[in-house]
Chains A and B, each alone.
Chain A
């Protein structure tokens, strides 16, 4: 079973990298660009048939290591 995990900085945490990317894209003429937040992406494959159990495991991975909960939010999606 495959999952994707997206980790982004919380809304109230300054994302200077995202800001620089945003400004650069605006300089390239992307004038309707509203905002960009930069994040991290993990593809996780897990040996488990039960979706709920697998998702729980991925969630545990996020809490234990992948995400710094003080400054980051995360989203888990199943990859079909």
Chain B
């Protein structure tokens, strides 16, 4: 009996030592909660961080390609150029309508020399002249876009074999975007720019950036409530946005993340990397990154000469940009954009703050930290 009693005693004290009180349990749960709360977002963000790294690496490749192109030809490529010209009623193969994008010119410099040679040769037997067919056409040679023109973060758009996610800078110019090589184009990609003409300094001037493909591939449709994301489409006929870019940020154009219901929005961006139109492969540094795109014009295709085309991406908080010196930087979407209600200028300081100053190649602005 005594022995049994002792045994029970020992067992009871052991039980008291091994058990947890409610408070201890709560503390442990709280610590686990904190650790999970800290680590889980980090694990999820690691995927996007990896995608972003690939996107910025592609930009770096384009930086090298542009510099090697400049070393070879002593100038940067035209954003839009080629064999001339479109003719009414003629078959699409007679020339490329002077609209090949810089992605084609740069091909030999990002290891797509074979495709470049095929485009240069054309296909005379099939009625396609050297230089390829009209740049907006489907053609077997260029229908399989090189992987370097795609950013893996840029999901959610309409995609096909000619989609792309990178864009050439038109600076803080809003008008005269097409053809883009006449008149004053304040960005790096205008008329065969030489590095010597980037007077603001190559480390203070943006050369390329990213843009998400559009939600559809086609002309304008009237959008409904919460239907088309503002970062993807281009709103047509936004009157006054050519002289007052800020109109493109008002509730009349943007409702939450989406275009306001009733607007006519088109999906032309990111669907034809070979076509050099502004609304295909261009961006300007007026509206901050990841804002809506607008045009005061009403062209249903990609041919508006006036447009606000900010770079857009799925990276949280901003976009990657390639500076003219080859550096890749991340620009926040809250970057200083100065006075967006001011009309665009053709010379001198950009009215659009640090962002506009980074876009212009010869504005004379001092650009601080960004």
- A and B assemble together: no
Residues in A lying within 8 Å of B, measured CB to CB? none
Residues in B lying within 8 Å of A, measured CB to CB? none
